[in-house]
């Protein structure tokens, strides 16, 4: 029965995410689906080219198929264009469609029009920044894209088209890879990933990524991170180069002008951003062909030399916890922690733990009050405005506890002083409702919340934490998940991936994953999990934990889920990892 229920849920999810409206499909003929490129087709190879006598519909289909090419200028696609259109077509943006269909042409003399229909699920701008479609189940309304063709030397070629590339979801997931650029947090001690998408490879990819680093972080991170590339606004991107051979050599104008700390930070930023392009991650830095020495490393470095500042770096291995009868339980042995906190004296309904050396700093919620203290000491009440509280969370690489009251977010210092986190002025705060979950990314720069609106819908919102003097604000707070997905809880499994509990409205919740920019939203394997999922916990390098009705706690083992104590059920609720 359990398998049948999950099979039914899978059908509901697929229907929600892939439904295709057909109001614009001609009734006179069946449209031609364009199949995914791969397998026998060589992307960008000679077989993806127009053939003598191809009709307009085949020309447009070939143009779209060739668009998945990793060629820097989509030369395969340009073969299907007239010389004039090929020179004008801008291929720097990508529109991702759930699927598309090429309709029958409308031809008159030497001119023809072909319409392509599909539902948008997202788009990628010229800087590789992905923006998801948030309407319904994440699949937008049916859209039409018109291609004009003309006869050129007796062969049909496209002479009118919109800017950018059209690509199917399946091809986007196959040929486009999330490539994180790295920038520094405001303290310049932790690297923060900024996802970009490209189908380029090898040296062309490295050069493109370097040019994007020169352009700086995406707007949503602009007030929260720093770029170590010197005078990036003044550097001609063509003068900053990447050469890949036995060693990746990056030439950055102005690098020799940096002091020792600046060079070291720049080397780390480049190593993390460019080091994964080839198997050998060894790199060197130069300035106008002159070698730049890095303190303690010379001119050769890799990500291994900067492990402590990586986005998922932790000083202590995260510990798993959950609650049982109001007490704090350690997941490593399924036993209460020492003292009144483990005995359930505070009757906690949610909690968060921060490891500070050998001590554990604890924040918990009891009867809608926030309690803070050090285990095994006493927890004391912190004064907050009246309202329903979210579970708390400790800010990574910091000492403050954050918690939501309604839709207002507050920070609490080690001295028990509270301060309001300023929302972005452009949005005026969040819509009316209740924040039911609040979690920091491992690098501490992004904050993700689950906002439940008054109409019962809920979504993940993500913003960047910016600091200016003593003022702390959340910039560019924006929804991440589509309106048709009702979210109950979330956790960061690493600096760019969130796990969440949710499902289509009226469907049984299951576990999902989504990237921090809203891309690649998909249901995860739920083999072994029961119905009634309520909460999720995760941390870099650690197995995910899930809480279900019962209450019970489950952990991920290989490709399935099981009770962490090997018993039939592990009694517990609201699992979480220490920060």
Same-domain check for residues 282 and 390: no
Residues 487 and 366 in one domain: yes
Any idea what DSSP says for residue 298?
B
Distance, CA of 472 to CA of 376 (rounded, Å) = 31
pLDDT range class, residue 567, cuts 50, 70, 90: confident
* pLDDT band, residue 429 (cuts 50/70/90): low
Smallest Cα–Cα separation from 81: which of 158, 149, 166?
A: 158
For residues 117 and 183, membership in a common domain is answered with no
Q: What is the pTM of this model?
A: 0.87
* pLDDT at position 400: 93
Secondary element (H or E) of residue 271: helix 260-274
Q: Which residue, 171, 196, 218, sits at the end of a domain?
A: 171
Query: What is the pLDDT confidence band of residue 399, given thresholds at 50, 70 and 90?
Result: confident
Is 260 a member of any domain? yes
- Span 185-221, pLDDT tens digits: 998 999 999 999 999 888 899 999 999 999 999 999 9
**One domain for residues 6 and 138:** yes
Residue 498 corresponds to which tokens in the numbers above?
Answer: 């969130």
Our count of domains for the chain comes to: 3
| Residue 549 counted as domain residue | yes
Q: CATH no. for residue 404?
A: 2.120.10.30
Do both 204 and 132 map to the same domain? no
**Is residue 136, in this structure, part of any structural domain at all?**
yes
Considering the domain architecture, whether residues 334 and 447 belong to the same structural domain is answered as: yes
Q: Summarize the confidence of residues 451-463 as an average pLDDT.
A: 90
Distance CA 402, CA 409 (A): 7
Final residue of a domain: which of 309, 339, 361? 309
Q: Compute the distance between CA of residue 463 and CA of residue 476 in angstroms, rounded to an integer.
A: 5
pLDDT, tens digit, for every residue of 129-188?
999 999 888 888 899 999 999 999 999 999 999 999 999 999 999 999 999 999 999 989
Q: Are residues 364 and 502 in the same domain?
A: yes
Q: What is the mean pLDDT of the chain?
A: 87
Quick check: 44 pLDDT over 70?
Answer: no
Beta bridge partners of 151: 156
Both 341 and 214 in one domain: the answer is: no
Is pLDDT at 2 greater than 50 in this prediction? Answer: no
Which pLDDT score, from 0 to 100, does residue 70 have? 63
Rounded distance between C-alpha atoms, residue 501 and residue 519, angstroms: 17
Helix-then-strand count for the chain, H and E: 8, 38
* pLDDT per residue as tens digits for the range 78-88: 999 999 999 99
Residues 297 and 328 reside in one and the same domain: no
Asked whether residue 234 carries a pLDDT value surpassing 70, the answer given is no
Judge whether 84 lies within some domain. Answer: yes
pLDDT score at 236: 66
User: What are the structure tokens assigned to 96, written together?
Assistant: 């991702």
Q: Which residue has the tokens 């490879």?
A: 201
E strands of 390-492, at which residues? Answer: 393-394, 401-405, 408-412, 418-420, 433-440, 446-453, 458-468, 471-479, 485-492
In this prediction, residues 454-467 reach a mean pLDDT of 90
Residues 250 and 351 in one domain: no
Distance in Å from the first CA to the final CA of the chain = 38
Q: Does 551 sit behind a cis peptide bond, omega within 30 degrees of 0 on the bond before it? A: yes
| 314 in a structural domain | no
Q: Kind and range of the H or E element at 369?
A: strand 369-375
Ranking 30-34, 101-105, 220-224, 259-263 by mean pLDDT, the lowest is: 30-34
Residues 101 and 128 in one domain: yes
Describe the chain by its helix, strand, coil percentages, rounded to 5: 15, 40, 45
The answer on 146 and 195 residing in a single domain is no
Q: Which of 309, 344, 367 is the last residue of a domain?
A: 309
Is residue 326's pLDDT more than 90?
A: yes
What residue numbers bound the domain in which 451 lies?
320-577
């Amino acid at each position: 029965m359990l398998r049948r229920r999950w099979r039914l849920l899978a059908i509901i999810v697929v229907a929600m995410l892939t439904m295709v409206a057909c109001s614009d499909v001609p009734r006179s003929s069946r449209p031609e689906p364009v199949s995914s490129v791969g397998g026998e087709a060589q992307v960008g190879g000679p077989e993806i080219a127009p053939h003598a006598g191809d009709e307009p519909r085949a020309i447009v289909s070939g143009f779209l198929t060739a668009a998945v090419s990793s060629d820097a200028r989509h030369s395969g696609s340009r073969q299907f264009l007239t010389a004039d259109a090929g020179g004008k077509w801008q291929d720097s943006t990508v529109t991702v469609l759930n699927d598309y269909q090429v309709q029958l042409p409308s031809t008159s003399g030497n001119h023809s029009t072909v319409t392509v229909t599909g539902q948008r699920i997202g788009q990628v701008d010229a800087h590789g920044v992905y923006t998801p479609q948030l309407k319904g189940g994440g699949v937008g309304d049916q859209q039409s894209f018109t291609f004009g063709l003309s006869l050129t030397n007796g062969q049909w070629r496209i002479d009118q088209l919109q800017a950018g590339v059209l690509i199917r979801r399946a091809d986007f997931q196959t040929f486009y890879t999330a490539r994180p650029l790295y920038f520094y947090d405001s303290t310049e001690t932790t690297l923060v990933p900024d996802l970009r998408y490209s189908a380029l490879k090898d040296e062309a990819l490295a050069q493109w990524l370097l040019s994007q680093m020169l352009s700086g972080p995406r707007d949503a991170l602009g007030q929260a991170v720093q770029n170590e590339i010197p005078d990036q606004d003044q550097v001609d991107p063509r003068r900053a180069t990447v050469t890949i051979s036995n060693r990746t050599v990056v030439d950055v104008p102005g690098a020799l002008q940096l002091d020792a700390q600046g060079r070291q930070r720049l080397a780390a930023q480049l190593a993390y951003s460019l080091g994964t392009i080839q198997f050998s991650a060894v790199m060197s830095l130069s300035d106008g062909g002159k070698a730049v020495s890095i303190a303690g490393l010379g001119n050769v470095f890799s990500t291994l030399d900067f492990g402590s500042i990586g986005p998922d770096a932790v000083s202590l291995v995260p510990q798993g916890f959950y609650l049982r009868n109001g007490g704090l339980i350690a997941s490593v042995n399924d036993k209460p922690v020492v003292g009144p906190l483990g005995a359930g004296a505070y009757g906690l309904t949610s909690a968060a733990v921060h490891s500070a050396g050998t001590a554990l700093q604890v924040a918990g919620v009891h009867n809608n009050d926030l309690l803070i203290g050090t285990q095994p000491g006493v927890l004391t009440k912190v004064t907050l405005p009246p309202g329903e509280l979210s579970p708390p969370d400790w800010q990574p690489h910091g000492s403050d506890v954050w918690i939501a009251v309604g839709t207002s977010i507050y920070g609490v210092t080690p001295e028990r002083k509270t301060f309001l986190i300023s929302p972005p002025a452009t949005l005026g705060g969040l819509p009316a409702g209740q924040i039911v979950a609040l979690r920091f990314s491992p690098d501490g720069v992004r904050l993700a919340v689950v906002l439940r609106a008054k109409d019962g819908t809920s979504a993940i919102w993500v913003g960047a934490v910016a600091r200016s003097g003593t003022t702390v604000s959340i910039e560019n707070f924006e929804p991440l998940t589509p309106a048709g997905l009702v979210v109950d809880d979330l956790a960061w499994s690493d600096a760019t991936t969130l796990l969440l509990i949710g499902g289509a409205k009226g469907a049984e919740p299951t576990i999902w994953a989504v990237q921090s920019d809203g891309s690649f939203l998909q249901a995860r394997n739920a083999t072994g999990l029961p119905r009634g999922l309520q909460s999720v916990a995760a941390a870099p390098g650690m197995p995910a934990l899930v809480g279900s009705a019962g209450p019970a706690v489950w952990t991920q083992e290989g490709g399935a889920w099981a009770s962490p104590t090997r018993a039939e059920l592990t009694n517990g609720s609201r699992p979480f990892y220490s920060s």
